[in-house]
Every structure is written in C-alpha cells, then in structure tokens.
Amino acid sequence: MNAPFVHSAPVLRIALPFALGAGVALYFESGKAEALAAFALAMLAFVGLVLGRKSWAQMESNHYFGVLASIAFFALAFSYASYRLDAVKDRGKFSGLESAFEAVLLRSPQEKANSTSLLIRLHALKTGDEKPWIRSNARLMAYAHPSLRADTLQAGDVLRFASLPRAPERSRNPAQFDYGKYLLLQGISATVYIPDDLSVHRPTGGFSDLVVYLERWRERAIGLFRQYGWSGTELELVSALVLGQRDAVSPELREAYTTAGTVHILAVSGLHVGIIYLMISYLLRFVLPGDRLRFYKLLLSLIGLWLYAGISGFSPSVLRAATMFSFIALGKHYGRMGNVFNMLGASALILLLVNPFLIASAGFQLSYLAVSGIVIIYPLLYPKWVPSNVLLDKIWALTAVSIAAQVATLPLSLYYFHQFPNYFLLSNLAIIPLATALLHAGIACLLLYWIPYVGDLIMLASQYLARFLNEVVMLFSKLPAPVSDGFYLSTGEMAVAYAGFFAFGVIIIRPSPRHFRGFWLCLLLWVALFAARQAMAVASQESYILHSRNSTAIIASRGSKAAIFSFSGRASQSEDLNYVLEPYLLSRGIRDTVHFRQHAYMRVGQHSISIVRTKEEFIRSMALQPDFIICHGGWSVYSDTLPQLAPGTQVVIDASVPPYRMERMESWLRSAGLEVHNTSRRGAIRF
C-alpha cells in the first residue's frame, strides 16, 4: 500500500501485530514462562522506542521505528493472551475434595440427541460438609441426560450439584477438531456431568449478572413469537436471524443454509446492527428533535446499539459491528468521520483488550475479513460495469459485495469448513433481500405486537415470509452439486494464500516490478507447500488405533487409500466414528477407503492385533503373543496372576471401557508387568 494509506490508519498498524501476537499465543497455548519472557521483550522494545524518540523523526529511520513498535505490541499481546489463557486453566483445577457446587445458569439449556448442555458460572464451592462456601468465578459447560426437563430451567436459575468438574477433554486423534481447546478459548474452564435430580433454586429478586438479564430478555422475545404460533423451522430462523440464538437452529436447517452458501444469514452481523442503528437514529430524530439534544441522542443511540448486541448474544461479528457503529455515531456527533481502516483497527484492538480469546474465533476472523474485502475489493470491482438500469445496478452492487466478501474469506473458509458453495452468487441475490425484509419484519413484530390487529397482521406476514425464505434455501440446497467439498488447507498454506492476496491487491493499487515479484514468490511458495504435503501424503504409510467414544477403530493408510476396521460395522454408519475419521482422511488426502468389521484376531500390515471383551478372552489371546491386545467393552477384571507376555506386546484400553473400571484395569495389568496404553488419557496410538 502507498504511504498515505499507511499513515492514515495508525491504529491499524498497532492492531495488526497485537492481533497476531494474541493469535500465536493462543495457537501454541503458551504458559506463564512464555508470558513473562514476552512481557520482558515488550518492555525492552518500548524502552528502545522511548530512548530513540529523537532519531525516529528522521525519514530514513521510520522503518526501524515501525519494526520495533510492531515487536513491542506483538510481544505485549502474546504475554497478555498467555496470561489470560493460563488463568482460565487455573480456574478449572479442582482438588477432588469438593463436596458441593453452586452455579448460575447463563443461558437456556440446549437440548441435543444424546445430552442436554448448560452453560453455567460457578458462584461458590464447598470442600467439606462443615466448611463454609468458597467464592468462585469459573465458567463451566455442564452436560445432563436428555431426560432432564430442560424446558423448566431458565437463565438465572441457581443450580447445586456434587459432581466434580474436570478439565475439558482434548483431542485424542490425529487432525481431529480439538473441542477441549475450543472450550478453553471460549473462557470455559471445565466440563461437568450433572445428575437429573440436581437442586434448582429460582431467585425471586433481581440478577446481579448482566448476561443473565439479557438472556432473560431474549427468552421473553422468543416466547413472544411462540405465543403467536411460531414453531419449527420458522421459529428457528427468526430466533437466529433477529435474536442471535444460533443454537436453536436444527442441524438439518443449518446444513441447508450451509449448502446454499448463505449460512452467514443465521448469524447476527454488521447488516443487522447497521439496520438497528439506522432505525434508532431515525426514531430519535422525531422523539428528540433539534441540535440542543444531540448528546442525549448520541447516548440513547449507543445504549440501544449495545443493548441489541447483548440481547443477540455478544457474538464476535456483533461486537465488531457494534464497536464500529459506535465510532460512526461518535464521529457524526463531533463532526469527524475517521478512516474506515482506522475504525477496523480500533474496534479490533478494543475488543482484543477486553477479550483476547476473540482472535481465535472463526466468526471474529471471518467478520473482519469480510468487511475488509468489501472495503478494499468492492470499490475496485463495482466501477468495472455501470448498468443504466436501476434494478440491474442494484443487482450488480449486491453481486460485487458478495464477490468481495467471498474472495476475502475464501482461504479461511476452506481452512475451517473444507467446502465451497457453488451457487453462492445466485443464492445471495435471492436470499439476502428476503433475509433483510424478515429482519425488519421481526424487529417490527417485537416493537408493535401490542397494537391490536396491527401486531397480529405483522406477526402473520412475518411468519409466512420466514417460511418462504426457508423454502427458497431448501430449493438451492437441492440443486445438483450445490457444494464442492474435500478441500484442505494447512495453516501455512492458508497464511501464504492471504499473503498472496495482499500482494495482488498491492499490484492493483500500485503496480511495480517489485510488487509483481512479491506476488509470484507467494504463489510459488504456496504451490511448494501444497506439492510437499501431497507428496508426503502419497508416500506416507501409517496405522493408528484411534480413540473413539463407543467403539474401537483401527485405520491403516497407504498413500491415498485406507483400510478401516471397526467393531460397530461400517464406519459410515457410526456418527462417532465419522467424527473421528473424517478429519484424518481429509488431512491425508485419502479418497479410497475399505471398511471391515473387526474380528477377535486380525493382522493389520505387519502387526497382529487381538481384541478382547472378557478376562478369559484376554488370557487366551496372550497365548497367541500378538503385538497389541485391545481391551474393549465393560468387562470386569480380577487380581489373578497373569502369564508373561512376549517382549514388545502392548495392551491398549479403548474408550468403550467404563471410566470407573479403567483405573482398576490399568492397575491389574501393570501389576503383571504389562505395558498399558489408555486411549482416553493418552489418545490414539500409532504403530
């Protein structure tokens, strides 16, 4: 970019290294030692900036100032994010002596097929019956049996239970999504399974937690739609689109929107916040006319803006939009409209100072990239064609916006979701206007429902509009080949792709031979990384005993082919096995798979494996002297003496063994001098 652009966005120059430092710290999960080292480096860099302040004024020294300042803010963010992450982990450590826990429910329970999840914040805990309650502030993700009457619980309810929280379970298999790390980066310190007969108390007074207040308002708003007969996919859509309740969307409806390339409609975003801001500003012009009340109009605009952000769940995209529109409101009030890149940088910097974990959120990253793409690419693309027809002009403008956002988010979307919606241009042209109309109608429902006949008419019309929008989405999702899937980008490939995008943008704005060389270097590096990964995948030969929640899974891959062995039959019939296997197959570029049902004794490559479900089977299998003995199922163990195994034989306890029997089984096996690998603790084992 040219110098005027760089100098006109000084906050962006701070926000970029700050965001990068926080992201690197969270990616590698740095601890206290790294945080202290980074803080020391940041202080040294700031001291260098202060001591050299006289020389920085010289033009030839400016780039040294920029490098040193970037190092300072990078290290400062690295230290800050590491410290915050370590604090979340510390709050999830429980000694095992606690006898009771008291927590407040932060949002409505989310009912799923196999469990009910509850987001709670601990208020207090007890370490013994005779000891007083100790204050706590840890956020937990609690799980209960589906039979729990979740519809009787509300945000703000106080729960008491005795189950011991545990640190979030980390990824146990190669290339698998690390759900435990995801929870930590959401500020959730531990998980706990609570019984159905937990004690529930509903406070009669007010709530001290703002999050609970806002969640209650959202529950009332959704309840209002239910009172007017909304249900099914229409209620799911309006709950997500207007109120940010994405968890209420069924997997089938979410899949349809994803396939159609319009899943972003289900998230409250800048479009929604912008409409709310314009509506508030328009109403205040009539309620508080004149310039003498400008300050009060500003104050009410900001309150309304952030109140809606809170009711819609404070998602990363909403936080970004609310912060930026707050800057716009302040700029209008003081008659100074700032640089859009400066506002982007300032909003990101403020949000990361409040919560550095946001940088690890896909929603946060995609939101900023989409806005950046629209701001940078749209002004270059839109003037390429100027239709004379007004309708065509509107269609072209929406198309240019969709292309700009899609290009800017493409590498990151492929990195996270591994697929590309083929009809995204057509679907966005049809669905975005409908979604915008439904958003206006949904807000009108909440504001005007109390007016006789008018409220009923708006509610009915909005429901038909929601139904029509869902039908259009279903139509796009059923078209031939709606998505192209199977894409995989490594972290390095994704980063180099964005470097190439940036270099290409620089060429468009300021072409020069040096910039062309930078672009070609990025392109060659990306091709080299892709080719190296493909070559390694073709040449690789590896086998794993995988950690699968309800069964044993064994995979042997050779290049682009793999053999899969499973107790539960074909892996495609098991949701849990698919969750375990799909990331591995995708990351290795494996397209040809053969599924086998496991037998009591088998050979996988050069290794022999015996799978046992009882003590008697275990003893019989020892006579075969296999390389691996896998203990599977809920069988009991005894303290009998075991015969000696051949050297090199390893015993594996898979996840199907009940947790309360694992420790006894391990102790029994180790007492016989056997080498034991518990997949629930140590993850998959490679052989």
User: For 184-197, how does the pLDDT look when each residue is reduced to its tens digit (9 = 90+)?
Assistant: 999 999 999 987 77
Tell whether 549 and 657 lie within a shared domain.
yes
- 3-state SS of 602-643 is EEECCEEEEEECCHHHHHHHHCCCCCEEEECCCCCCCCCCCC
Q: Please say if the pLDDT value at position 56 is more than 90.
A: no
Concatenating the DSSP letter of every residue in 45-108 gives HHHHHHHTTTGGGSGGGHHHHHHHHHHHHHHHHHHHHHHHHHHHHHHT---S---EEEEEE-S-
Tell whether 397 and 472 lie within a shared domain.
yes
- Specify the 3-state DSSP secondary structure of 114: coil
Q: Please say if the pLDDT value at position 234 is more than 80.
A: yes
Backbone angles phi, psi at 103, to 5 degrees: -145, 160
Q: Among 70-84, 262-276, 363-377, 503-517, which stretch is predicted with the lowest mean pLDDT?
A: 262-276
pLDDT of residue 2: 44
Residue 497 corresponds to which tokens in the numbers above? 């792709």
User: Do the Cβ atoms of 537 and 589 come closer than 8 Å?
Assistant: yes
Average pLDDT of the residues in 341-358: 92
Q: Count other C-beta atoms under 10 Å from residue 10's C-beta.
A: 14
* Overall number of domains in the chain: 5
Tell whether 531 and 556 lie within a shared domain.
no
**How buried is 671 (Cβ within 10 angstroms: 0-12 exposed, 13-18 middle, 19+ buried)?**
exposed
pTM: 0.88
Tell whether 347 and 407 lie within a shared domain.
yes
Which of 91, 125, 158 is at the close of a domain?
A: 91
Q: Tell me: the pLDDT tens digits for 303-339?
A: 888 888 888 888 888 888 888 888 888 887 777 767 8
Mean pLDDT of the chain: 85
User: Do the Cβ atoms of 484 and 460 come closer than 8 Å?
Assistant: no
Tell whether 346 and 235 lie within a shared domain.
yes
Tell whether 187 and 162 lie within a shared domain.
yes
CA distance 13 to 341: 10
pLDDT of residue 573: 45
Q: Which of 423, 424, 427, 445 is nearest to 435 (CA)?
A: 427
- Specify the 3-state DSSP secondary structure of 502: helix
Read off the pLDDT band of 523 (50, 70, 90).
very high
Report percent pLDDT > 70 for the chain. 92
Number of alpha helices (DSSP H) and beta strands (DSSP E) in the chain: 22, 20
pLDDT of residue 59: 47
Read off the pLDDT band of 262 (50, 70, 90).
confident
Q: Tell me: the pLDDT tens digits for 64-78?
A: 788 889 999 999 999
Read off the pLDDT band of 454 (50, 70, 90).
very high
Q: Count other C-beta atoms under 10 Å from residue 252's C-beta.
A: 10
Read off the pLDDT band of 637 (50, 70, 90).
low
Q: Among 270-284, 309-323, 433-447, 580-594, which stretch is predicted with the lowest mean pLDDT?
A: 270-284
User: Do the Cβ atoms of 433 and 465 come closer than 8 Å?
Assistant: no
Tell whether 67 and 203 lie within a shared domain.
no
Average pLDDT of the residues in 352-357: 95
Tell whether 606 and 473 lie within a shared domain.
no
Average pLDDT of the residues in 81-101: 87
**Lookup result for tokens 């109309």:** 437
Tell whether 480 and 549 lie within a shared domain.
no
**What residues have CB less than 8 Å from 675, skipping those under 6 apart?**
649, 650, 651
Of the two residues 66 and 527, the one the predictor is more confident about is 527
Q: Please say if the pLDDT value at position 482 is more than 80.
A: yes
Which of 191, 208, 225 is at the close of a domain?
A: 208
Tell whether 218 and 198 lie within a shared domain.
no
Residues in the chain, overall count: 687
Tell whether 610 and 585 lie within a shared domain.
yes
User: Do the Cβ atoms of 647 and 672 come closer than 8 Å?
Assistant: no
Q: Where residue 185 sits, what CATH number does that domain have?
A: 2.40.50
Residues spanned by the domain of 104: 100-208
**Lookup result for tokens 């990068």:** 20
Average pLDDT of the residues in 589-608: 83
CA distances from 138 to 55, 91, 682 (A): 48, 6, 26
Highest mean pLDDT among 313-317, 387-391, 666-670: 387-391
pLDDT of residue 647: 67
Tell whether 283 and 311 lie within a shared domain.
yes
- Which letter, b or e, does each residue of 210-230 get, where b requires 16 or more Cβ atoms within 10 Å of its Cβ? ebbbbbbebbebbebbeeeeb
Average pLDDT of the residues in 56-70: 71
Report percent pLDDT > 90 for the chain. 31
Q: Which of 150, 371, 391, 361 is nearest to 270 (CA)?
A: 371
Read off the pLDDT band of 104 (50, 70, 90).
very high
pLDDT of residue 602: 85
